[in-house]
Amino acid sequence: MKLSVNVDHVATLREARGGLEPDPVTAAHIAELAGADGIVCHLREDRRHINDRDLRLLRETIKTKLDLEMAATEEMIKIAIETLPDLVTLVPERRLERTTERGLNVVDQIPYLSDVVLEMHKHDIKVSLFVDPDPKQVEAAAKTGADFIEIHTGEYANARNEKAQYEELQKIKEIAKLARRLGLGVNAGHGLNYLNVIPITKIEEIEELSIGHAIVARAIFVGFERAVREMVRIVKGI
Ligand code: PXP
């Protein structure tokens, strides 16, 4: 299974101060050095974390592959065509949400999304549709001509107890199988961490995971002690 690392929340930290650091582009390079198979970023309409400069530099400098998460709006479609990411993952976007809260409603937008897929294909960009583990959405995704689905693992990750988590896992397994039968590639992501990812890695039909928040959160703690020690040395002159 492959891992693509989402660097959005490195940019979230930068935006908290409105300066230049930490730079999500540097994070992407480190992720590649550490063995990531790809880099993901979500360019939101409000540019709350990743901005146009980040996207441009990521495209120019990363050596693996770039997955641009975006809403299927006119503005974003234009940006995708200018940037030429390797993959576009279409997600629903609501201005007031903290993060992507649900999968796309593909069922109600098959003609529109089919046009978007066609436009992306004209520019050699593959398309993935972020969907809840719902057979109707996956069947609709296949009708649009998309190359992949990304299964939304948020319900699984946020399940209240083991039983609910087990049920969500079964749904994900079934959906992965269905998608493969329909000729779609299968990715998955959202809310995956160092524990709940383990059962997901056993699902053979899933090609790639997209993980961001848990990695950025862990980076703070695995790096915090060293960062403090370095500052202690400078401040104490030792
Ligand atoms: N996949 C999609 C479509 C997402 O919107 C996100 C969140 O940006 C992720 C994966 C990664 O989720 P997380 O940051 O919780 O790992």
Annotate 152-164 with DSSP letters as a single string: E-HHHHT-SSHHH
Tokens of 184: 């779609």
pLDDT of residue 55: 98
* Beta-strand relationship, 2-6 and 38-42: parallel
Task: Assign 143 a pLDDT band (cuts: 50, 70, 90).
Answer: very high
Residue 101 pLDDT greater than 80, yes or no: no
∠ CA 178-210-79, nearest 5°, is 100
pLDDT of residue 94: 76
Q: Please return the burial class of 92, using the count of CB atoms within 10 Å of its CB with bins 0-12, 13-18 and 19+.
A: middle
What three-state secondary structure class fits 58? helix
DSSP state of 210: E
* 157 CA: nearest ligand 1 atom: 15
Q: Residue 233: what residue type?
A: R
69 counts as catalytic: yes
Q: Is the CB of 190 under 6 A from ligand 1?
A: yes
How far, in Å, CA of 37 to CA of 32, rounded? Answer: 7
Residue 13 pLDDT greater than 90, yes or no: yes
Per-residue pLDDT tens digits for 192-218: 999 999 999 999 999 999 999 999 999
Residue 93 pLDDT greater than 90, yes or no: no
Per annotation, catalytic residue among 150, 152, 155, 190: 190
Per the structure, the complete domain to which residue 26 belongs is given by 2-236
Residue 99 pLDDT greater than 80, yes or no: no
In a mutational test of the pocket of ligand 1, which residue from 50, 193, 213 has the highest number of ligand atoms less than 8 Å from its CB? 213
Question: Of the ranges 90-94, 122-126, 210-214, 223-227, which one carries the lowest mean pLDDT score?
Answer: 90-94
15 counts as catalytic: no
Per-residue pLDDT tens digits for 34-55: 999 999 999 999 999 999 999 9
6 in a known ligand binding site: yes
Task: Assign 114 a pLDDT band (cuts: 50, 70, 90).
Answer: very high
152 counts as catalytic: no
Residue 236 pLDDT greater than 80, yes or no: yes
pLDDT of residue 97: 74
212 in a known ligand binding site: yes
Domains of the chain: total: 1
17 in a known ligand binding site: yes
Residue 174 pLDDT greater than 90, yes or no: yes
Q: Is the pTM of this model over 0.75?
A: yes
pLDDT of residue 231: 98
Residue 221 pLDDT greater than 80, yes or no: yes
> In this structure, how many other beta carbons lie within 10 angstroms of the beta carbon of residue 43?
22
Question: Which CATH number characterizes residue 158's domain?
Answer: 3.20.20.70
* Beta-strand relationship, 2-6 and 126-131: unpaired
Q: 32: CA distance to ligand 1 center in Å? A: 18
pLDDT of residue 100: 74
Tokens of 112: 């529109």
Per-residue pLDDT tens digits for 63-87: 999 999 999 999 999 999 999 999 9
Residue 98 pLDDT greater than 80, yes or no: no
What is the b/e burial string over 186-215, where b = at least 16 CB atoms within 10 angstroms of the residue's CB?
A: bbbbbbbeeebbeebeebebbebbbbbbbb
State the average pLDDT for the chain: 97
